[in-house]
Chains A and B, each alone.
Chain A
Amino acid sequence: MLLSPKNPALARPVVAEDEPLINTTPLMAPSVVLLFIWMIVPLAMTLWFSVQRYNLLDPTSVGFAWFDNYEFLLTDPALLNAIKNTIALVVGVLAATVVFGVACAVALDAQFPGRGIARLFCIIPFFVMPTVSALVWKNLLMNPVNGLFSWVLKSVGLPAIDWFSNYPLSSIGIIVAWQWIPFATLILLTSLQSLDREQIEAARMDGARGWTLFWNITLPHLYRSITIVVMIETIFLLSVFAEILVTTSGGPGEASTTLPFLIYKTALLDYDVGGASAGGVIAIILANIVAFFLVRTIAHNLER
């Protein structure tokens, strides 16, 4: 059945121009079906729970809540705060990783002794698990009493900073950026290596060097890779969770609560599965809005 031509009229030994000889739909079906179930079941369940009265502490309260869950969430200032925090974290980390990623890539592209080792060291943070790196930062580096940073500050006579109390979101941003700079560096470094040597030499003959060379030749060359980095990182940064749970647990107050963390808190700390599902649906909608603009701009950039 698989190999039989779709159209009996084409059974002649003439090869049709556009018609594939093999009907591939049955071959693709298993994976398509599996992926579809994989996606549709959780989505359907989330939508279902989001209109239910579903509290883990009160098994008696059941039945349809309809849009009460949404109404409760949308009128709660915590949601707007979480969205603001999410945007601040994503944008801040993106900016930091792109700037430092470009700087690291340019530095590691240059010829110097021990370059191989330096490249290896630069990549390492990417392989450290988020919880582990967050704990290292929290207890060894940013701790106001025992941390390395406070020791450095104290040794030059400055007061120690209590990072997670005073700058919770920025501190988490620093940790996440530290984890993602290697990724940006890696992508931008490979892109730099594909920069035509003759183009640089032509620019040198034209009088560009140092900063002007970087600004006029190197950076435009990296433009595409930067958009790739931004797109991939956005997807992952929108769901940053472990670093927040390990360090601040969303606090102090709600100062470092992002949308994923708010959903977690509603479901597993407030035991309100219905409300959390409604939050999840809102997160899906927001993510899709971001994805729409992102994919459009990037597709436009890649076409150039």
Chain B
Amino acid sequence: MSSVTLNQIGKSYGALEVVSGINLEIADKEFVVLVGPSGCGKTTLLRMIAGLETITVGDLLIDGERVNRVRPDERGLAMVFQSYALYPHMTVADNMSFALRLAGVDKSERDRKVNEAAKILQLDHLLQRRPAQLSGGQRQRVAIGRAIVRDPKVFLFDEPLSNLDAALRIQMRIELARLHKQLSATMIYVTHDQVEAMTMADRIVVVNKGGIEQVGTPMEIYQNPDTVFVAGFIGSPKMNLFEATATTVDGRTFAHLNSGQKISVPMQLKPGTQITLGVRPEALTADSSGPLAGEITVIEHLGGETLTYVDIGNGKLATIKSGEASLGQVGDTIRVSFAADRLHVFGPDGRAIRIQPRH
């Protein structure tokens, strides 16, 4: 068992509060991804778990034991850094066995563990090289190997893929997911890339402005974002968000978009309420009887899919994701519709107003 519990954790530098009131339960063998924009406090949070930053308020428990004041190396965690932080003057094997050497593990045991980790990561033939002689992907694997060798309770990853090129990043993403299964270890992973979060996580924690916005499985978060921020942050291309004012006509509620058009909303709202409507690009379809009309300004062909940007007034663009076929030509005016249950409504406080209970 290796669970991590964060209880009302907060961090401040003098009067500046960077993280506050974090409550989170991370279960054994879970892959949790902390995702958020840069500067949101996710890395600070990870560093507090690692013991590299002190915790200002709250309790951090590992396996039910409070470790706020335990030294980083005694918390039983291993961390993979963004810059890999390999020791340049040591060979790959020495890099990986450094922690064991300091812990006084004898040579044969060290070699056995290093070889074991090297086999998992396909580093066998590189053990005598120095980090400077390795490619980015290989360094990344050595950094992970250094963590594996320590046999930690929890793996911590601080944006480990952000220094790799796109193709390698996808490959390492798959490799990390495989590694998680193979080691059946608890992993906490920090990233600003929502694609990494969506693809690898058992659970995603969306962090913004030093607090947790929403916790849930990738699909929960994708389908039912709790806040406007989560709605806009998770998903690519971004969810369409339209600011609007609620009005009532004949007992039916309409959203009067700031860009000029009107959409009926399947719920009761007080007239004059400032709301934000959200619709995923793939939920929008071209439909000659649709409620929204606009001129096509840009069409992006991505091969298997097409992104069409429609100006729905005042320069506000709606993104439509469709299949290979174009919805029209640039300059055409088309009408757009969407299924009522794909509409997200957010109140003036930015929190979701549920249209109907979802599964």
Contact = CB atoms under 8 A, between A and B. Distances in A.
Interface stretch (A2-10, A16-24, A163-171, A215-223): A215-223
A208 interface: yes
B85 A199 contact: yes
B118 interface: no
A216 B71 CA distance: 19
Given A196-B83, A198-B83, A205 B77 contact: yes
A203 interface: yes
B87 interface: yes
Nearest to A202: B85
Contacts of B51: 205
Interface in A234-284: none
Interface stretch (B96-104, B169-177, B250-258, B350-358): B96-104
A17 to B, nearest CB: 30
19 contacts: A196-B85, A198-B82, A199-B87, A201-B52, A201-B79, A201-B85, A202-B79, A202-B85, A202-B87, A202-B146, A204-B73, A205-B50, A205-B99, A206-B73, A207-B103, A208-B73, A216-B87, A221-B88, A223-B89
Contact of A201 (B71, B81, B150): B81
A212 interface: yes
A220 to B, nearest CB: 4
Contacts of B232: none
Interface in B69-99: 71-73, 77-79, 81-83, 85-89, 98-99
A207 B102 contact: yes
Contact of B73 (A196, A205, A221): A205
Contacts of A199: 85-87
A196 B99 CA distance: 18
Contacts, number: 58
Contacts of B50: 205
B102 A212 contact: yes
Given A206-B73, A206-B99, A207-B103, A221 B81 contact: no
Nearest to B143: A202
A206 B147 CA distance: 9
B81 to A, nearest CB: 5
Please indicate which of the listed interface residues B88, B103, B146 has the most CB atoms of chain A within 10 Å of its own CB. B88
A196 to B, nearest CB: 6
B332 to A, nearest CB: 50
> Could you say which interface size class chain A belongs to?
10 to 19
Interface of B: 50-52, 71-73, 77-79, 81-83, 85-89, 98-99, 102-103, 146, 150
A207 B72 CA distance: 8
Interface string A158-188: 0000000000000000000000000000000
A202 to B, nearest CB: 4
Contact of B72 (A204, A217, A220): A204
A207 B87 CA distance: 14
Contacts of A209: 71, 73
A302 B355 CA distance: 67
A75 to B, nearest CB: 49
A206 B73 CA distance: 6
Given A203-B98, A217-B87, 14 more contacts: A196-B85, A198-B81, A198-B83, A198-B85, A202-B81, A202-B87, A205-B72, A205-B99, A206-B73, A206-B150, A207-B99, A208-B73, A216-B102, A221-B88
Contacts of A208: 73, 98, 102
A220 B78 contact: no
Interface in A188-202: 196, 198-199, 201-202
B102 A221 contact: no
Please indicate which of the listed interface residues A198, A208, A217 has the most CB atoms of chain B within 10 Å of its own CB. A198
A220 B85 contact: no
B108 to A, nearest CB: 20
A14 B98 CA distance: 56
B81 A216 contact: no
Nearest to A200: B85
Contacts of A205: 50-52, 72-73, 77-79, 99
A164 to B, nearest CB: 43
Contacts of B82: 198
